[in-house]
Amino acid sequence: MPPAHPFDDDKLREECGVFGVVGVQDAANFVALGLHALQHRGQEAGGIVSHDPEQGFNSARRFGYVRDNFTKQSLMETLPGPLAIGHVRYSTAGSKGNTAIRDVQPFFGEFSMGGAAIAHNGNITNANALRRELIERGSIFQSSSDSECIIHLMARSLQQNVPERMKDALRRVEGAFSVVAMTRTKLIGVRDPLGVRPLVIGRIGDDGFCLSSETCALDIIGAEFIREVEPGEMVVIEHGHLKSHRPFEAAKPRFCIFEQVYFSRPDSILSGRSVYETRRQIGIELAREAPVDADLVCPVPDSGTPAAIGFSHESGIPYGMGIIRNQYMGRTFIEPTEQIRNMGVRLKLNVNRALIKGKRVILVDDSVVRGTTSRKIKDMLLDAGAAEVHFRIASPPTAWPCFYGVDTPDRDKLLAARMSEEEMREYLGVDSLKFISLDGLYRAAGQEDGRNNSCPQFCDACFSGEYPVRPRDMIEKGFQLKAAE
Amino acid sequence: MPPAHPFDDDKLREECGVFGVVGVQDAANFVALGLHALQHRGQEAGGIVSHDPEQGFNSARRFGYVRDNFTKQSLMETLPGPLAIGHVRYSTAGSKGNTAIRDVQPFFGEFSMGGAAIAHNGNITNANALRRELIERGSIFQSSSDSECIIHLMARSLQQNVPERMKDALRRVEGAFSVVAMTRTKLIGVRDPLGVRPLVIGRIGDDGFCLSSETCALDIIGAEFIREVEPGEMVVIEHGHLKSHRPFEAAKPRFCIFEQVYFSRPDSILSGRSVYETRRQIGIELAREAPVDADLVCPVPDSGTPAAIGFSHESGIPYGMGIIRNQYMGRTFIEPTEQIRNMGVRLKLNVNRALIKGKRVILVDDSVVRGTTSRKIKDMLLDAGAAEVHFRIASPPTAWPCFYGVDTPDRDKLLAARMSEEEMREYLGVDSLKFISLDGLYRAAGQEDGRNNSCPQFCDACFSGEYPVRPRDMIEKGFQLKAAE
Amino acid sequence: MPPAHPFDDDKLREECGVFGVVGVQDAANFVALGLHALQHRGQEAGGIVSHDPEQGFNSARRFGYVRDNFTKQSLMETLPGPLAIGHVRYSTAGSKGNTAIRDVQPFFGEFSMGGAAIAHNGNITNANALRRELIERGSIFQSSSDSECIIHLMARSLQQNVPERMKDALRRVEGAFSVVAMTRTKLIGVRDPLGVRPLVIGRIGDDGFCLSSETCALDIIGAEFIREVEPGEMVVIEHGHLKSHRPFEAAKPRFCIFEQVYFSRPDSILSGRSVYETRRQIGIELAREAPVDADLVCPVPDSGTPAAIGFSHESGIPYGMGIIRNQYMGRTFIEPTEQIRNMGVRLKLNVNRALIKGKRVILVDDSVVRGTTSRKIKDMLLDAGAAEVHFRIASPPTAWPCFYGVDTPDRDKLLAARMSEEEMREYLGVDSLKFISLDGLYRAAGQEDGRNNSCPQFCDACFSGEYPVRPRDMIEKGFQLKAAE
Amino acid sequence: MPPAHPFDDDKLREECGVFGVVGVQDAANFVALGLHALQHRGQEAGGIVSHDPEQGFNSARRFGYVRDNFTKQSLMETLPGPLAIGHVRYSTAGSKGNTAIRDVQPFFGEFSMGGAAIAHNGNITNANALRRELIERGSIFQSSSDSECIIHLMARSLQQNVPERMKDALRRVEGAFSVVAMTRTKLIGVRDPLGVRPLVIGRIGDDGFCLSSETCALDIIGAEFIREVEPGEMVVIEHGHLKSHRPFEAAKPRFCIFEQVYFSRPDSILSGRSVYETRRQIGIELAREAPVDADLVCPVPDSGTPAAIGFSHESGIPYGMGIIRNQYMGRTFIEPTEQIRNMGVRLKLNVNRALIKGKRVILVDDSVVRGTTSRKIKDMLLDAGAAEVHFRIASPPTAWPCFYGVDTPDRDKLLAARMSEEEMREYLGVDSLKFISLDGLYRAAGQEDGRNNSCPQFCDACFSGEYPVRPRDMIEKGFQLKAAE
């Protein structure tokens, strides 16, 4: 059922991964592999649309992991052709059982001059207003996804081909978006003017091109990384040629710094730098900013591992696996028992008791959001006999929600929005707590002089509260921007 | 995937059943029962939309029988509220695996002044043109169903409420349609001006109303049959009151005579007459028109049974079950073995050898379409030792396809379009073959003076080739109307 | 889980169908068709075991209809070879969810000289004692089915080949049994000394043989009916030759008369007579024994139909379909809503109101067990305006439970065990109620002089309380035999 | 179908995990958590049996991960009671589709004095002979699992209670076994005389006890680790008391050294030592035995990680994550496309190109079996621009198959059985290749003086070819023991 309430602020918003290929046989197989490599960007569901000159457009959408669905012969045979795009999607807590498959992208629309499919990573900050306007004009929405606005805007555009209709549509859209789209012959990629979300270009085989959220998905299919789609750029690939368009007014890029901290895979290259190396540098910066005498540097696996390695390298304190991760955890439980609901982090992590016992431990994690998990990990370490626990965080305090496609709780659920650093330390019950500074983070990310406060090089709204695109829908719903200083 | 070809003449067209209730607790449960009673009108899939003041609109669509899906507590709990409509749908051979659930009705649309759901029985004969026009204007179709046109026309109407928008939309639609629709508070029923497909009104409880394709579905929920929705009438039921509207220009009714012959259930009342009695009368007329000396009147179960009883009553020849039906047959096989594909009618019917042996048999069936099954049944009778086989058909030769919502093969696949009666007799290999006359059929259906050829009382296009509504889309695709005489 | 209580009198007992083929390619496909034709004998689950010289024994067991499982290419490919047996099984109310697939036959055992699979129709009346003895000796039961005793007895036999082991085992077994079994090369069929349950032999192709519960299953695969396996006979078929053995002491046959009344399909031949004709004769006898002035003879579909036809033929009162059966009913509902649980017979049957109104109706049914359904049908007829309802039953009062493989309620649930005929008439609320006499039934079944009371020709324990095999387990559990007169 | 060939050397053998709890509410929930923590020991299927005083024994067996099945309310409600045992099982390649659920443990048997369930980790080396003997005596096997022998031996024992029957049975069994069993009131654990496979005892709550393959599963349920079940010991726990029995002749323990190298989880304690620490020590030993000048120590994740950390600690060469593991890989693909079949390790691992480029890399892995994966990883490193690749292996060359419950290929598939170390280096195409020495491994595992060659402290047959228990079945099938020197 299309939602009675088209925008629901109880709902977690998705962070997604997109992938597209053109110019190879059975393109959908490549898309499936690419999405498998991007699974960390969205684990709830995935979809692929392909086009074959004889069999036209075909699509499949499935809940669950890519590897459990889009590896099957019988399904992949229904997705023939040399051109395909795909999407993986994060859990949206609010979507109820029998309707949510409609919200799985890519979306498809048949226009008067042909059809197009699009997949979107990001978030549209004026989706409410756009949806109201489109319904007023007679569009019928089939999903609760804001991304569907783009395809309705395209359907109503007066332009005569898909790329021009897409420009027309995206000029009405505010927010962060990296879009991969396709027509019968074209593969299209677009990033919003600020380039908040990533999107890269690869080459495969003689004539093939691909577009991907991250470079790690180029590796899995043996594609060569060419360059990023630039902020504000639209690339249109057809018959082995790539044309670059610039549909938007020029703007200073503001790439999401949280992709560097946590979201992207460590083996990806972002803005010309290895994510692993950036994270290791964060650990080095942290060790310089917040040294402490201890016996062991221990990561919270796996997101804290590269920073912990860096901290160990810089401090000389031995690195060790004090917390072991159970590899058989997925994201969700269907109809769980009471006991499972109450288990929390213990289902996933266990302390390596023999290693921890009697040690002064530096625990390195990527971030603190609500703080609930961090407390439980600290309890587990103390239970196991840790002498001291010093918590080092590879990002500044997360004090503001993201409205650009990362799932964050409401502001009042964010620990750092409610407490000072000392209050947090007390709440978490650790011997010391230090976050990397914003400047330290910028340095680790390659900005040698740190953050340019008059014109920051990244989007760091979750840390600074400075939103580079006005979160219009959220303000309409009562969100208070940071007071100007 | 919305279809590359919105109208595909290789595709079997649906015959459907619709049902709606308002003014009862848990209306969806009543709709489920009603659809179960209408299952013979569509066996592939079913859908229900309900509305609850607190939980808004909810829907569920499922492949398979109503009884296997819409009887489950866990599913029905997702469909709360005092107002619900539903739909069962016949197999459409052309819809491929992973997309067809989108084609299952009811369709839902959110308009600027609220939402509406509609379910449709019939066929729109200008759907092609309407779909082209709507896509041109920027509507995005989500299904391959022609019925979706109605909801898009409604979304674009300039009228200010759902009933007025529906009138606006249906005035653009040509063909045969019985529509059941709902808003948050209203249950709406409409029949096309000729009233080709059935739709009846029932009362339930103190304040409740229901709408149903046939009266047999009123019986199952204990509702009282009030009257038919009249051809060209729209009824709007709200807060326990029914208002009648007349949105179309007046026309002479042309109810589908094939509903009398085959489609409706024998325990339903159509146009004031018992379907069972009409079919028994057909047998009586047949016995008068085409008597033959024989030992046994034997129906092809179950559709030939009432006419065979009538034939026996009139002729005095004993009635007997010479063919036994296996009750455990459904419609389709998933991934069948070669052997199953080749079994055909033997999976479903077996000859009662001891009864048939040495007998002169009058075999009564409702109709002959391709003739392939009839031949096999005759073979089975001869194998079992029948002395003679006389075939009596309870309808005139089916020589023309139906474009008003009954699934029929292309004209060149219809045996009666290619052969004379004697050629058919030879092809079927029977000792005699007789069809009821068109006048005899009209008499059996209550028209004492037979067919009024200048202004026939029924739609009998499948027999006569006289189409009361121009099949515009089909003509565009090359269909040849009968030459004027 | 093997049951804590190996014999549970709250549990409904199964009535089953068995089928076996040897000497054809892909024998399992033929078994699947045979089981489909025998589906009325057991609707809950089915199983097939096949043997192929290269791939050895293979098996598959599935819940649900044969047509939904054993028609699939992918499943049937796992059952190769020229020799196969199969089984369909009735619902056993007591088996709980996740364990019951173990109870689905055929059972398989590997013995020291080779393996064997067996499928069993009937009931073992000393199963309790046998099971206790076998467990004492160290056998491990894997199912709650009494039939498993046979395979354990075979495993422990001192004989040197499967047929001799089977004789050894079956000589320990009391009760009613028709067994189909197979080794690597042999197809084996056995009936108990009284021949209570049916089993017939057919020929197929040049060298092929089949064994089946009923002849209707020979028809579907095009096999020729040869003869019945005789009471007390064991047939062993190998390399195209059939050998007959007589392992038991001779006894007077006592075939189940209820197979004639209700259980077998009307197109089967039992003891040389057409089941349909026997049932029609029952109607004729009933019309003679219990005539009544009325307007319409109406069957309770479908089991009452042949007797109603006979009643109409004899009485001259017109036959008509006053009750219409919904063809889309299966046996069970999974997790049904409260409303579905309360619907009862209305989900399955509807009155043909126009036909019934104002008529004096003779309602013909095969039997009355608890009487609850009969009352509801009568209510439906009166609701529809029937002037009188006269109930005629095609069997004598069912006053005793069956312990030979037909599912019957406990004796105190049987209406005829608690009430006189007049009390039943009052309870059912009909104008008259008549059962056929036991002699009349015997005459209809071909015994011209009626029942030989000193040595009855059939087992009629359910009517007479005279049990031809002592129900040992049930007596142990407290069942009271009829007092000697 | 019980297998035609009860022992199939083409079949991969299982390595399993077992867990049992008594004296807690809803014991099955605890077993589910324990099995989740032991999932690395068997990923194909799992089973739980519970006992409740009122509801008796219940069981459930499922394919797939514990977390996908045994966390569901609806399933766990079917497993009530204060006593439960469970089992996880590794993939057995030879079991075909529809039969294998029978092979999932625990097995259950009803004996003359009550029932018992058992779960088994290990492998019975005289299973062939036992199975032949049992079939000869009339036992019917229901699975292809050798473990079923134990329950049949118990069923035939002349002893009067379950513990005594189990002693009786296990005295006939040769090989490696850690067994967890239960009766209605007792939880029982046994290890074979050599203690090849692990089994530990924990306490939970006031009166509760648990038995587990590894200590990590005690942690997840908050149980306290008490001690190991000793080699050759049987513990019987009832009403909160533990009794120790010694049913076997005393023998020198020979715990599996491969549990230390690879199989157990790093956060478990084996023989009083942390597995993580043992593996880190292996890295330290390796760095001493086989130093090399290089830029980076890189583990093959995750099994090589602790040894790589140790190598880095000892050598001072920086540790780095040069290979990144995709966390969304499970074990198997259903019906995979050709492309997926050919992907191999690239689906799971990707090189961190920016880190590897131009570096001399020390690659640390736990073992080399067939060598095929190792070659592909080396190729990926060279593709990414590694200057040199030095391969260091945390175990000696695996030259002999394991017959004690670890899945290993046939001997001729083992790289080390066919090649010298230099040949392996060439085959793998690396700049250097070094395995830890057997003495070095023993030292790392806590035996300061290395291996006692006259009486080794561990079972190291996979490295040494010295089998502490004669692999009788395999010798019967043609396996050649190492020639005496």
On the question of pLDDT at C8 being above 60, the answer is no
State whether residue B2 sits within 8 Å of chain A by CB.
yes
Q: What is the pLDDT of residue D283?
A: 98
Residues (pLDDT < 70) of chain B are: 1-14, 91-100, 330-332, 485
Amino acid at D288: R
> Count of CB atoms within 10 A of residue D288's CB?
14
> What totals of helices (H) and strands (E) does chain D contain, helices first?
18, 23
Point out the least confidently predicted range of B245-249, B458-462, C63-67, C326-330.
C326-330
Q: For residue D193, what pLDDT band results from cuts at 50, 70 and 90?
A: very high
On the question of pLDDT at D96 being above 50, the answer is no
Which chain C positions have a beta carbon within 8 Å of D142's beta carbon?
Answer: 140, 142
Interchain contact, D108 vs C139, CB within 8 Å: no
ipTM metric:
0.90
Which chain A positions have a beta carbon within 8 Å of B98's beta carbon?
Answer: 59-60, 75, 78
Q: Which of residues A146 and B292 earns the better pLDDT score? A: B292
Which chain B positions have a beta carbon within 8 Å of A155's beta carbon?
Answer: 135, 138-140
* Continuous segment of H or E residues that includes residue C376: helix C372-383
Instruction: Select the residue of D110, D135, D137 nearest C2 (Cβ to Cβ).
Output: D110
Average pLDDT of span A368-376:
90
Radius of gyration of the CA atoms of chain C, in A? 23
Q: Which of residues D377 and A3 earns the better pLDDT score? A: D377
Q: For residue A10, what pLDDT band results from cuts at 50, 70 and 90?
A: very low
Percent of chain A exceeding pLDDT 90 equals: 81
With 0-12 CB in 10 A as exposed, 13-18 as middle and 19+ as buried, what is A239? Answer: exposed
Average pLDDT of span A212-220:
97
Q: What is the pLDDT of residue C145?
A: 84
D462 marked as binding residue: yes
Instruction: Select the residue of D76, D219, D339 nearest A29 (Cβ to Cβ).
Output: D339
Choosing among B339, B342, B345, which should be mutated to test the C contact, i.e. which has the most C CBs within 10 A?
B339
Q: What is the pLDDT of residue B331?
A: 61
Average pLDDT of span D283-306:
96
Mean model confidence pLDDT for chain D: 91
pLDDT digits (tens, 9 = 90+) for C341-367: 888 788 999 999 999 999 999 999 999
> Count of CB atoms within 10 A of residue B225's CB?
19
Helix, strand, coil fractions of chain B, as percent rounded to 5: 30, 25, 45
Q: For residue C399, what pLDDT band results from cuts at 50, 70 and 90?
A: very high
pLDDT digits (tens, 9 = 90+) for C160-196: 899 999 999 999 999 999 999 999 999 999 999 999 9
Q: For residue D114, what pLDDT band results from cuts at 50, 70 and 90?
A: confident
State whether residue C337 sits within 8 Å of chain D by CB.
no
Average pLDDT of span C147-157:
94
Average pLDDT of span A222-251:
97
Q: What is the pLDDT of residue C484?
A: 72
Point out the least confidently predicted range of A192-196, B241-245, B303-307, D337-341.
D337-341
Pairwise CA distance, residues D240 & D219, whole Å? 20
Amino acid at C310: G
Instruction: Select the residue of B49, B56, B137 nearest A4 (Cβ to Cβ).
Output: B56
Q: Which of residues 25-44 of C touch B (CB under 8 A)?
A: 26, 29, 33, 36-37, 39-40, 43
D256 marked as binding residue: yes
Q: What is the pLDDT of residue B145?
A: 84
Interchain contact, C339 vs B216, CB within 8 Å: no
Q: List own/partner pairs for C407-416 with CB under 8 A and 24 or more apart.
A: C407/C12, C407/C13, C407/C14, C407/C15, C407/C90, C408/C13, C408/C369, C408/C462, C409/C369, C409/C370, C410/C9, C411/C479, C413/C370, C414/C369, C414/C370, C415/C368, C415/C369, C415/C370, C415/C371, C416/C368
CA dihedral defined by D351, D353, D358, D362, rounded to 10 degrees? Answer: -30
Please give the structure tokens belonging to residue D157.
């024992």
Interchain contact, A108 vs B1, CB within 8 Å: yes
Interchain contact, A4 vs B60, CB within 8 Å: no
Q: For residue C393, what pLDDT band results from cuts at 50, 70 and 90?
A: very high
Q: What is the pLDDT of residue B210?
A: 98
Choosing among D38, D62, D67, D319, which should be mutated to test the A contact, i.e. which has the most A CBs within 10 A?
D67
Interchain contact, C71 vs B277, CB within 8 Å: no
Q: Which of residues C99 and C476 earns the better pLDDT score? A: C476
State whether residue D112 sits within 8 Å of chain C by CB.
yes
State whether residue B265 sits within 8 Å of chain C by CB.
yes
* First vs last C-alpha separation in chain A: 45
Closest CA to B404 of B442, B460, B453: B460
Amino acid at A123: N
Pairwise CA distance, residues C131 & D203, whole Å? 39
Q: Are residues D328 and A36 in contact, defined by beta-carbon separation less than 8 angstroms? A: yes
State whether residue B112 sits within 8 Å of chain C by CB.
no
pTM for the structure as a whole: 0.87
On the question of pLDDT at D7 being above 50, the answer is no
Q: Which of residues 145-204 of B touch A (CB under 8 A)?
A: 151-152, 155-157
Interchain contact, B56 vs A1, CB within 8 Å: yes
Closest CA to A120 of A100, A146, A94: A146
Active site includes D455? no
Q: For residue D13, what pLDDT band results from cuts at 50, 70 and 90?
A: very low
**Which chains sit next to A, with 3 or more Cβ pairs under 8 A?**
B, D
Q: Which residues pair with A238 in a beta bridge?
A: A241
The residue with tokens 């921890």 is A356
Average pLDDT of span C446-467:
96
> Looking at CA atoms only, how far is residue A158 from chain D in angstroms?
42
**Which chains sit next to B, with 3 or more Cβ pairs under 8 A?**
A, C
